[in-house]
A and B are shown apart, each in its own frame.
Chain A
Amino acid sequence: MATHALRPAAPTYSRGRLYEWLTTTDHKKIGIMYVINSFVFFLIGGILALVVRTELAQPGLQFLSDESVYNQIFTMHATLMIFMFVIPMLAGLGNYAVPLMIGAPDMAFPRINALSLWMLPLAGILLVASFFTGGSAAAGWTSYPPLSLDGPLKSPGTGQDLWIVGLILIGTSSILGGINFLVTIFKMRAPGMTLFRMPIMVWTVLVTSVLVVMATPVITSALVMLFIDRNYGGRFFDPFGGGSAVLYQNIFWFYSHPAVYVMILPAMGVISEVLPVFSRKPLFGFKAFIFATAGIGALGFSVWAHHMFTTGSVFLPFFSLMTFLIAVPTGVKMFNWVFTLFRGQLTFSTPLIFAIGFLTMFLIGGINGAFSASVPVDFALHDTYWVVAHIHYVLFGGSVFGIFAGLYYWFPKMSGRMLDEGLGKIQFVLMFIGFNLTFFPMQMLGLAGMPRRIADYAADAGWNDWNMAATIGGFLIAASILPFIWNVFVSLRNGKIAGDDPWEGNTLEWATSSPPPPYNFDHLPEIRSERPVFDARHGRGAH
């Protein structure tokens, strides 16, 4: 393909590489910076998680000075992991992959794309800076009032306000990014790329963007009301002043439940790209998968109150039923994936191994989620470690394994070099064992009645062994990140040269060079199916 490349005749400007990256509007560079920024906050959030696990290893307060510090640590762990790692990391992968996959030269609004990116480090700095202003937010990542109000239970002043401002910034970045994705997907597709020929990754980003555009502004409204209550004497959420604390929960979860799908759908998209490529088969039930994705997105708006069963002010049968219904499209996807692997010609490269990690762990997370949808079970398990286990099986076992599958899959495209397979497999083994060692005990702890968000527990409660196991697992997860960092570091210099299409991929990003030129494509293959590069390789696209 390179034979057709036109050598640019325009003079090259000698701009510094740093300046080039800081001012770029190229979606690929922006996507990579999203990934790097998210990874930095993943490390910070991970260190906070280690602090939490160290404190909980044994009963008693050994590591931290007092409980209020513990509250800050777990609040910031969840906040950074959700808002500064998983959501932007997937947005970054989408930013890199979507225009390439639909054969577009860039996103629809490149400068707004850069704006979305640069809001994120700013928000992250605000969040982390709150540790140095007399304590960060400490009311949990949900920041329920009255915990988050200035009252008897107050969360330290400035930290909670910085948290609110940081989250509004991240939300604005998400909304602008979502609009950008939608316009790009609807308007910038290459000729022949009909909606039903779009790769699944693009479909999941499309549905995710609808969720982001429609749900994120709702949490923005909750956050501004919280800000008004805290700073301008407002009375929205203060039960003593005529407000309602449950109102906040309703508005908060109206966003934060769809946000769960914002965090999982693109990861599902990633593994739906990886599984067909490494099993040498098309995705089983391509259209069913698309409708299942849209179904999850639509149902996602009607289940928010399942987080609030125990408040006694929501209609339990409705929200329980809708929550169970979500298991149906999710089950459809499970079948899609399993039957894609079934009788496939499997190549156990690192991306596939992480994708299988996703399948198995997400299955556990999905099933224990369905248990929690049952009202009587939820009444027993609400606010126990069971919930912590569930969210981590879905968001770590699902999203994070999916993210690593995506990073190993697209790293050759981004850098032009392969990551080392051996180190990748070491990472997977460490991470998989560490993950289960951490979060399986949490299910047992939840069933044994251990509440979440506590810094200390009674020594005779029978929780000691499971907690110690979870702490060891936590450090194993941390250890699994080291081979990855080393792998990236080494491979960028000495990695095997990838070539255009190292995996024999299906989708358009593999039809251009690695890394692609700023304008993405010298030349596109004919698009006759959802696998144009496969068609071109095997002559199916011939006239």
Chain B
Amino acid sequence: MSADSHALAPADHSPISGLAHDIRGGISNPILGMLLFIASEIMFFAGLFAAYFSTRANFVDANGVKEWPPSEFADILNPFSLILVATVILILSSVTLQMALWAIRRDDRTGFLRNMAFTFILGITFLLLQAYDYSLLFQEGLTMGSGPFGTTYFTLTGFHGAHVFGGVIMLGVVLYRGMSGQFSSRHHDAVEAASLYWHFVDVVWIVLFTILYFL
């Protein structure tokens, strides 16, 4: 084969000679993968948000009144309640996670683990608060089955909650791996990727909170 004489490989005896791949800096594979995954997640939530706005725009209650929220749930979603505490906690968790990331970037493993543990606990706290908030709403009569208002509210917040749950698992794995010393300033793609995901989930909540409670 004439191809042999044109080989790039400096050392033809190695099975992988000449096969150095495009690793000249740039974004790492796991992080690019996570960014693309987040892009697809954005589209998933875009579908849900589109459904929310469409439902809301077309909503007419049983008496033919065009009002959102429907009159029987007029003040049920009060932003200045438990949900605000949950919101602050979720935003705070993003801050502590970023601090954990900065810590591991400068090889401060203690600071990394401490902040990671904070983040993990804050994430779980958010989920517990949301569960408690759900129970309060159930008591007041707002459920998945109580018309388009209930359906959209629980679908949007529920899927966000499911994403927080996934994120908490991700944080748990990162924390566990961190405790066994697997991360350093040179090797912490998992931390970067998990933090990207967590920030994304946080941003979704801020948008969700604004739309559902204020708009």
**Do A and B assemble together?**
yes
* Chain A residues within an 8 Å CB radius of B46: 218, 221
Quick check: A524 and B22 within 8 Å, CB to CB? Answer: no
Shortest CB-to-CB span from A230 to chain B, Å, is 12
Interface status of B65 (Cβ within 8 A of chain A): no
Quick check: B21 and A104 within 8 Å, CB to CB? Answer: yes
* Chain B residues within an 8 Å CB radius of A178: 36, 40
Quick check: A216 and B40 within 8 Å, CB to CB? Answer: yes
Interface status of A539 (Cβ within 8 A of chain B): yes
Q: A218-B44, A247-B54 are in contact. Are A537 and B2 (CB under 8 A)?
A: yes
Interface status of B147 (Cβ within 8 A of chain A): yes
Quick check: A220 and B44 within 8 Å, CB to CB? Answer: yes
* Chain A residues within an 8 Å CB radius of B44: 217-218, 220-221
A11 to B102, CA, bound (A): 44
Instruction: Tell me which of A86-94, A155-163, A183-191 binds B.
Output: A183-191
* Chain A residues within an 8 Å CB radius of B74: none
A244 to B55, CA, bound (A): 7
Quick check: B51 and A221 within 8 Å, CB to CB? Answer: yes
Instruction: Tell me which of A15-23, A232-240, A320-328, A397-405 binds B.
Output: A232-240
Question: Interface size on B (CB < 8 Å)?
Answer: 54
Residue of B nearest to A246 (CB): B54
Question: Which residue of B3, B47, B148 is within 8 Å of A243 (Cβ)?
Answer: B148
* Chain B residues within an 8 Å CB radius of A242: 55, 58-61, 147-148
Quick check: B39 and A213 within 8 Å, CB to CB? Answer: yes
* Chain A residues within an 8 Å CB radius of B13: 4, 6
Quick check: B22 and A189 within 8 Å, CB to CB? Answer: yes
Interface status of A30 (Cβ within 8 A of chain B): no
A511 to B3, CA, bound (A): 9
Quick check: A234 and B155 within 8 Å, CB to CB? Answer: yes
Interface status of A519 (Cβ within 8 A of chain B): yes
Interface status of A150 (Cβ within 8 A of chain B): no
Q: A220-B44, A537-B2 are in contact. Are A526 and B58 (CB under 8 A)?
A: no
Residue of A nearest to B3 (CB): A536
Interface residues of B in 124-160 (CB under 8 A from A): 143-145, 147-148, 150-152, 155, 159
Shortest CB-to-CB span from A100 to chain B, Å, is 12
Interface status of A126 (Cβ within 8 A of chain B): no
Shortest CB-to-CB span from A172 to chain B, Å, is 10
Quick check: A525 and B3 within 8 Å, CB to CB? Answer: yes
A536 to B54, CA, bound (A): 58
* Chain A residues within an 8 Å CB radius of B48: 221, 225
Q: A242-B55, A525-B7 are in contact. Are A234 and B18 (CB under 8 A)?
A: no
Quick check: B144 and A183 within 8 Å, CB to CB? Answer: no
Quick check: B29 and A247 within 8 Å, CB to CB? Answer: no
Shortest CB-to-CB span from B133 to chain A, Å, is 18
Interface residues of B in 1-47 (CB under 8 A from A): 1-9, 12-22, 26-27, 29, 32-33, 36-37, 39-41, 43-47
Interface status of B215 (Cβ within 8 A of chain A): no
* Chain A residues within an 8 Å CB radius of B207: none
Shortest CB-to-CB span from B177 to chain A, Å, is 16
A235 to B17, CA, bound (A): 60
A197-233 interface code vs B (CB 8 A; 1 in, 0 out)? 0000000000000000111111111101100110011
Interface status of A337 (Cβ within 8 A of chain B): no
Residue of B nearest to A248 (CB): B51
28 A-B Cβ contacts within 8 A? Answer: A4-B13, A103-B19, A105-B19, A105-B21, A109-B29, A175-B37, A178-B36, A183-B29, A183-B32, A189-B22, A219-B47, A220-B44, A220-B47, A224-B159, A228-B144, A234-B144, A235-B145, A235-B151, A242-B58, A242-B60, A243-B148, A251-B50, A522-B15, A524-B8, A525-B3, A525-B7, A526-B7, A536-B3
Other contacts beyond A187-B21, A220-B47: 17, CB < 8 A: A179-B37, A186-B32, A190-B18, A191-B20, A213-B39, A217-B43, A221-B51, A225-B155, A228-B144, A233-B151, A236-B51, A236-B152, A241-B148, A242-B59, A254-B47, A519-B15, A533-B3
Which residues of B are at the interface with A, using a C-beta cutoff of 8 A?
1-9, 12-22, 26-27, 29, 32-33, 36-37, 39-41, 43-48, 50-51, 54-55, 58-61, 143-145, 147-148, 150-152, 155, 159
